[in-house]
Amino acid sequence: MYRTALVLGMALLVSSAAPSAAQERVERGYSATSDVVLRIFNMAGSTRITAWDHDSVRVTGTVAAGGRFFGGGDRRMAKLGVEDPAGRQPPGVLEIQVPRRARVWVKSASADVALSGVAGEVEVMSVTGTIRLDGAPRVATLESIEGDVTVMGAATVLRVRTGGGSVRIDEVRGDVSVVTVAGSIAIVSPEVLSARLETASGAVTFRSGVGPDGRLEVDTHDGTVDLILPSSIDGRFDLSTVKGKLTVGLPGYRPKAGQDRSATFATGKRSAAGGGIAVTVRTFSGQVRIGSNPGATGGI
């Protein structure tokens, strides 16, 4: 009896120890140029990329059983990530430090991706994983079909595309383009240079100024559109909804008869002369509401 119990106990110990023994711990370091090009592959789990002020790349983390870490390249260009010869997607949990000016490309399926402080170029492609970007890269292209995308910081050029994933952008200053299918789009910033926001059925909320002579273009099928603009905005507006309703609450705006579905008007002196900000909203059946934020003066 004791002997049976002992054998069973040992078997349990061995079986419980087996997964951790199969898990690979990763700790690597690579010498790199300050603007190294990195291609990172991690399909499941999570990838966290942080910029630091060293000309090197450091990777720590774990790779689940069945997968293995790979990495290679030279100081100017390197490729690393998790691979699985059997074609599955074993989760990897990777923490990667990269030079601040690095150009980083990340491929994910369900892995969540977070980037912080990278000032170079960033491109992330995912299917269901979330993407979070903090910092001010020159160019950021973020794509996830179903994962939510969150951006905090002053990217110069920001391109975001999702399907059902929602997009939240705070404090961005540059040129912004967001395309979703059903995901909502929310932008809150003092001022963006220009913005193009497009969705089929997601709701659009834009609470920001727009740079002098910039453009704000919004296009939805049935997604609602809420624009909260500076009360002193100097802009030319071209708004239309085929089956929705148009509500404009800008100071000085007086709706004319028949302008509940489309309206073209200008506010401010520069706009009256053909300059100013160009605001275009097109929607098939979405509701459009344009209001003002008396406290903001951005873009004017």
Applying CB under 8 A, which residues contact another protein?
39, 41, 89, 105, 107, 109-110, 123, 125, 127-128, 143, 145-146, 161, 163-164, 179, 181-182, 198, 200-201, 219, 221-222, 240, 242-243, 262, 282, 284-285
Q: How far is the CB of 200 from another protein (least distance, A)?
A: 5
Q: How far is the CB of 70 from another protein (least distance, A)?
A: 13
Q: Cα(7)–Cα(13) distance, rounded to whole angstroms?
A: 10
Q: How far is the CB of 15 from another protein (least distance, A)?
A: 28
Give the β-pairing of 204-210 and 185-192: parallel
Give the β-pairing of 24-31 and 92-99: unpaired
Q: How far is the CB of 127 from another protein (least distance, A)?
A: 5
Q: What is the sign of the dihedral through the CA atoms of 152, 156, 162 and 166?
A: positive
Q: How far is the CB of 43 from another protein (least distance, A)?
A: 10
Q: Cα(146)–Cα(180) distance, rounded to whole angstroms?
A: 10
Q: Where are the alpha helices (DSSP H) in the chain?
A: 2-22, 269-272
Instruction: Give the CA diameter of the chain.
Output: 97
Q: How far is the CB of 171 from another protein (least distance, A)?
A: 27
For 13, residues 6+ apart whose C-beta sits below 8 A from its C-beta are none
- For another protein, the closer of residues 202 and 209 by Cβ is 202
- For another protein, the closer of residues 248 and 296 by Cβ is 248
- For another protein, the closer of residues 219 and 234 by Cβ is 219
Contact 83, 68 (CB under 8 A): yes
Contact 37, 79 (CB under 8 A): no
- For another protein, the closer of residues 34 and 280 by Cβ is 280
Number of H helices, E strands in the chain: 2, 26
Q: Tell me, what DSSP letter sits at residue 3?
A: H
Q: How far is the CB of 1 from another protein (least distance, A)?
A: 42
Report which of 217, 216, 262 is spatially closest to residue 239, judged by C-alpha positions.
Answer: 262
- For another protein, the closer of residues 176 and 233 by Cβ is 176
- For another protein, the closer of residues 191 and 198 by Cβ is 198
- For another protein, the closer of residues 60 and 285 by Cβ is 285
Task: State whether residue 18 is helix, strand or coil.
Answer: helix
Contact 300, 234 (CB under 8 A): yes
- For another protein, the closer of residues 152 and 200 by Cβ is 200
Contact 258, 273 (CB under 8 A): no
Q: How far is the CB of 18 from another protein (least distance, A)?
A: 26
SS (H, E, C) 111-141: CEEEEECCCCEEEEEECCCCEEEECCCCEEE
